[in-house]
Structure 1
Amino acid sequence: MQINEQARETLLSEVSGLTDEQLNLKPSTDQWSVKQILEHLFLMEAAITKTIQQQIILGDTKTVDEKPIHFTVNRSVKVDAPEFAIPSEAFATLEEMKQKLAASHEGLQNLEKTADKKTLREKAYPHPAFGELSLYQYIPFVGYHEMRHIEQLKEVKAKMN
């Protein structure tokens, strides 16, 4: 969870001081606002946590190689968000988004603390970019995914100025 904690600290630092209007401002029609990036991160973290929980119980035991999940931060490779993680156009406040992110993060933290590490390593779930990914690797993947979107967030903020 170290990468996840580092990413979350950076993320919250990046949005600190933004007004709710700035948060919801889209730099262009085909780009997400900061709020949409935050919502996407919340949706992904919550969905991955739920998937890991389900796979611990229902998933088959399989051996998979460790994948280079650190490449997730490479934004030169375009990846479309899965349908369930596409953010809405609805207005939200920074406080609302922080609460959602705190809740999803707490869920992942609790899962990481309580799940049997052996089970997490012995079970896997398909990832759209990496193929079969161990449940164990899905946890730091969330942090790398967040780091990827922090770079996107910085670009959106730069276009605001």
Structure 2
Amino acid sequence: MKPDFRAQVAVLEQRRGALLQEVGALPEAQLTFQPMSGAWSIAQIIEHLLLVEGGIVERVTTRPPRAVRIRVRDRLGYAAVWVALSYGLRVKAPIQSVMPQKGITLSDAAEQWRSILQTLLAHLEVMRDEDLSLSVFKHPIGGPMTIAEALLFITRHFDHHLRQIARVRNSPGFPAMAAENVRE
């Protein structure tokens, strides 16, 4: 694997583990609490993260990298995505396929993340140097991305939703931890 990616993937893996450990201690009422109508619960946020990351890794690993002409619109979209993710702006998911639907258990989430990670790592190991500057994924707003940009997007997108989880937990009406669930 390219050394630049090893550290990035390790950081993401550590953050996922920390998130799963943190939310694993929450009761069902907290995992499924929606701060307002139409807002996502913590469980829905985790499902969304899996849908996005799984979709990106599926595209990266099943479609050959390709040279694309970067248009002005692509660069403006790319900048807009980074601003939204960096400043925690609330935006709607740009495509229906990454909207949470059925919910997911935390054990299923952990297993899916392990599978996504293994698939990604295996692909990064065999990626050719000449493919590093080619587009491997096209974001609906941000346009074409190289593997480095796609990995950075996954990380920043994850961090963006960590802030969203914190907002959910700090929302008025967030269920209190039942006495039997409080850990010493």
Length-normalised TM-score, structure 2? 0.70
Q: Alignment partner for residue 113 of structure 1, among 118, 125, 132?
A: 125
Instruction: Say if 1:117 and 1:9 are closer, same or farther in 2 by CA, change over 3 A.
Output: farther
Alignment match, 2:23: 15
Matched, 1:73 2:86: yes
The 3-state SS of whatever aligns with 1:29 is coil
Mapped contact 1:24–1:92 kept (Cα < 8 A): no
Identity %: 22
Q: Which of 1 and 2 has higher RCO (CA within 8 Å, sep 6+)?
A: 1
Instruction: Say if 1:78 and 1:158 are closer, same or farther in 2 by CA, change over 3 A.
Output: same
| Structure 2 unaligned regions, length at least 5 | 1-8, 177-184
Alpha-carbon distance in structure 1 between the residues aligned to 2:86 and 2:113: 19
Structure 1 residue 50: Cα displacement? 0.9
Matched, 1:146 2:124: no
Alpha-carbon distance in structure 2 between the residues aligned to 1:11 and 1:116: 32
Matched, 1:39 2:67: no
Alignment match, 1:61: 67
Q: Which amino acid aligns with 2:152?
A: P
Q: Which amino acid aligns with 1:37?
A: I
Q: Please identify the structure whose Cα radius of gyration is greater.
A: 2
Matched, 1:82 2:95: yes
Instruction: Say if 1:106 and 1:3 are closer, same or farther in 2 by CA, change over 3 A.
Output: same
The 3-state SS of whatever aligns with 2:170 is helix
| Structure 1 unaligned regions, length at least 5 | none
CA RMSD of aligned residues (A): 2.8
Mapped contact 1:42–1:101 kept (Cα < 8 A): yes
Mapped contact 1:27–1:156 kept (Cα < 8 A): yes
Q: Which amino acid aligns with 1:20?
A: E
Structure 1 residue 3: Cα displacement? 4.4
The 3-state SS of whatever aligns with 1:122 is coil
Moved over 6 A (4+): none
Length-normalised TM-score, structure 1? 0.79
1:32-88 C-alpha deviation (Å, 9 max, x unpaired): 0111100011111110011112332xx432475996675423222524242111101
Structure 1 residue 14: Cα displacement? 3.6
Instruction: Say if 1:109 and 1:154 are closer, same or farther in 2 by CA, change over 3 A.
Output: farther
Provide the aligned length of Structure 1 versus Structure 2: 158
